[in-house]
Amino acid sequence: MTLQQKFITFYTILHKEVTRFIRIWPQTLLPPVINQTLYFVIFGAFIGSQIRMVNGISYMTFLVPGLMMMGLITNSFINAASSFFSMKFQRSIEEILVAPVSPWAIICGYTISSMARGILISGIIFVVSMFFIPSIFVHLVYPGLAIVFIILTALVFSFAGLINGILANKFDDVGIIPTFILTPLTYFGGVFYSIKNLPHFWQNLSRFNPVLYMVDGLRFSFYGLADADVFLSAAILIVLALILGCVAVYLLRKGVGLRT
């Protein structure tokens, strides 16, 4: 395939996927925004009135980067996994496989569309946070760094969701990882607390959770405060993205879970 043909393939998949999740926005965009708004109300307003300050900032303000990351992670993963598996379930993926389509075009199409959904959700959550914290823009110390962490995190979990979609054999397989892996990782990834407030053992254990570095990196971008080294956090995200991207390419080229 020529470079132009590869781009047309990529753009077609990307356009189809973005159009799909925007067309059904009451199912794809509205529920996560409502969920995160409830977190602001319950954890930020009610529980936050008791905790008041974390690392020198109000608890409501402290929550914003974590809730943005939670929405970003979940939606980037779910979009890639469910969308690709739906293609397998409907057997329409076979039309792509028999065509002279580059695996990279397929992967980029599904990955970037999933990143778009996750980033859109994260941005909407940030806008919602302004209703609770009108001065949130003032706290954004490093906006460029925030964009880097948002993009890298979306990329990591879009790759992970795509791998899940490739390997899944039934719809239940798509829901297992978000329920039993992603949810615990995000809840124990410093979304609602600073690991500095944990006992020493749990602080060390938390450092094995990759989500911690994603949340911590974005929080540093906002407030200049971090529980882990920001360069280490960025490096971990880059390594994860490279590994998962290579795995996705390998699985697609070998036809694992696709050819029966």
Angstrom distance (rounded) from CA 216 to CA 227: 6
Mean pLDDT, the chain, rounded, equals: 87
What are 162-217's pLDDT values in tens digits? 999 999 888 888 888 888 899 899 989 888 888 888 888 888 888 899 999 999 99
Within 168-229, residue ranges assigned H as helices are 171-177, 183-187, 200-206, 210-223
pLDDT range class, residue 146, cuts 50, 70, 90: very high
Cβ contact 56:118 at 8 Å: no
What are 232-249's pLDDT values in tens digits? 999 999 999 999 999 999
What are 94-106's pLDDT values in tens digits? 777 677 777 888 8
The pair phi, psi for residue 58, each rounded to 5°, is: -65, 150
Angstrom distance (rounded) from CA 36 to CA 108: 28
> 60: which residues sit within 8 A by CB, 6+ positions away?
40, 44, 45, 48, 132, 133
> 195: which residues sit within 8 A by CB, 6+ positions away?
202, 203, 206, 207, 212, 227
Angstrom distance (rounded) from CA 195 to CA 220: 14
DSSP 3-state of 16: helix
Angstrom distance (rounded) from CA 67 to CA 48: 14
Tokens of 116: 């778009």
Angstrom distance (rounded) from CA 68 to CA 70: 5
What are 30-56's pLDDT values in tens digits? 998 898 888 888 876 666 667 767 777
Q: What is the DSSP code (8-state) at residue 57?
A: E
Tokens of 62: 């402290």
Q: How far is CA 19 from the centre of its chain?
A: 19
Tokens of 119: 């980033």
> 49: which residues sit within 8 A by CB, 6+ positions away?
none
